[in-house]
Amino acid sequence: MRETVKAFLDYLTSERGLSGNTILAYGNDLYQMVDILEERGRLPRDNHGWESVDQQLLTQYSLELQEKGYSPTTRARKLASLKSLFNFLIEEGIVSQDPTEFLTSPRIGRVLPKCLSEEEMTMLLQETARGDTPEAQRDWAMIELMYATGMRVSELVSLDVGDLSLKEKHVRCLGKGSRERMISMHDQAIQTLETYLKETRPHLLSQSKKDATKESALFLNQRGERLTRQGFWLILKGCSKKAKVLTPITPHTLRHSFATHMLRGGAPLRYVQELLGHKSISTTQVYTHLAEDQIQREYDKAHPRA
């Protein structure tokens, strides 16, 4: 059965062009499902086991996820992975019926993403800009670029030097599903990146034990190698602590902040959708609610009778 899951993951990679992170999430969900059902003696340990998976079995699996304490959002994602798998199994003729057809997912309330206020964002950038070490200057350039473009952290650390077009004021970004988009940048971000490229990156590159001419990554760690997502998250937490930003922060917080502040500033929803690389505008619409909530709070604070 694991071979079938692997074939499905290969299909998602080659045919649908999903990102490595998405493939990893699908794999974790589906292999976990096989493990749980096999451990309970509910499945035969061969590729013919998929025919024995019926709606009752999957309902039991769903209940078991709930008993293990998984959140409704996580359970919904795991069940969505199952539905996608069985669509594949039907198309490939591996099963004749889809047991997920009437499987219900848990209800998920609207959870608004957290974002920094404009004042907190300014505090974070100003504090980071004060650092005079190469690492601090790199951190400033990364945070400035993320807030200027709203790109995902995986997109940020994947950037190569050749993806920047500072004269044209844009950066080329490869997003989910290998969809490429060009994102505009403001002058402050461009100036910060120019300084990073001329002064900071060469210093970091000199720390590499490899052939420096072969390193194309834009942002480098202390060893002159491409910075990782985990590395950026640790950097961001440290910068946030120094800036005394009280709102809990993750790399995605910067993306949320960018989208919310753009909409509050009057940017059209379709434009923000393109910048974020959202396939559906409904994904972007959550930020309109967040912007409205912040506007209401500012109104309540400012109006003498509020």
Q: What is the pLDDT of residues 232-244, one digit of tens each?
A: 999 999 999 999 9
What are the structure tokens assigned to 282, written together? 């409904």
My answer on whether 146 and 278 are in the same domain is yes
My answer on whether 155 and 226 are in the same domain is yes
Please report how the helices 251-264 and 269-276 are oriented relative to each other, as an axis angle in degrees rounded to 10. Answer: 160
Please work out, in degrees rounded to the nearest 5, the angle formed at the alpha carbon of residue 20 by the alpha carbons of 23 and 237: 115
Distance (Å, rounded) from C-alpha 55 to C-alpha 38? 16
User: Looking at the domain assignment, is residue 101 inside a domain?
Assistant: no
Among 55, 73, 91, the domain-final residue is 91
Q: What is the pLDDT of residue 141?
A: 97
Cβ contact 183:151 at 8 Å? yes
User: Looking at the domain assignment, is residue 111 inside a domain?
Assistant: no
Cβ contact 192:140 at 8 Å? yes
My answer on whether 291 and 149 are in the same domain is yes
Q: What is the pLDDT of residue 47?
A: 47
Q: What is the pLDDT of residue 104?
A: 78
User: Looking at the domain assignment, is residue 82 inside a domain?
Assistant: yes
My answer on whether 57 and 147 are in the same domain is no
User: Looking at the domain assignment, is residue 138 inside a domain?
Assistant: yes
Which tens digit of pLDDT belongs to each residue from 162-209?
A: 999 999 999 999 887 778 899 999 999 999 999 999 999 999 998 887
User: Looking at the domain assignment, is residue 28 inside a domain?
Assistant: yes
Q: Over the chain, what is the mean pLDDT? A: 85
User: Looking at the domain assignment, is residue 99 inside a domain?
Assistant: no
My answer on whether 77 and 159 are in the same domain is no
Among 91, 106, 127, the domain-final residue is 91
Q: Give the residue carrying structure tokens 């999430």.
A: 25
Distance (Å, rounded) from C-alpha 17 to C-alpha 277? 15
Distance (Å, rounded) from C-alpha 157 to C-alpha 179? 16
User: Looking at the domain assignment, is residue 109 inside a domain?
Assistant: no
CATH of the domain at 62: 1.10.150
Among 72, 91, 110, the domain-final residue is 91
Which tens digit of pLDDT belongs to each residue from 57-66?
A: 888 888 888 8
My answer on whether 77 and 166 are in the same domain is no
My answer on whether 149 and 242 are in the same domain is yes
The catalytic residue positions are 152, 176, 252, 255, 278, 287
Which of 272, 237, 243, 238 is CA-nearest to residue 257? 272
My answer on whether 79 and 219 are in the same domain is no
My answer on whether 157 and 269 are in the same domain is yes
Q: Give the residue carrying structure tokens 């047991």.
A: 99
Q: What is the pLDDT of residue 208?
A: 82
CATH of the domain at 260: 1.10.443.10
My answer on whether 41 and 130 are in the same domain is no
Count other Cβ atoms within 10 Å, centred on residue 80.
Answer: 14
Distance (Å, rounded) from C-alpha 113 to C-alpha 118? 15
Domain that holds residue 196: 118-302
Q: What is the pLDDT of residue 202?
A: 94
My answer on whether 250 and 159 are in the same domain is yes
Split into its structural domains, the chain has a count of: 2
My answer on whether 137 and 286 are in the same domain is yes
User: Looking at the domain assignment, is residue 133 inside a domain?
Assistant: yes
Cβ contact 145:157 at 8 Å? no
| Intervals of the chain under pLDDT 50 | 47
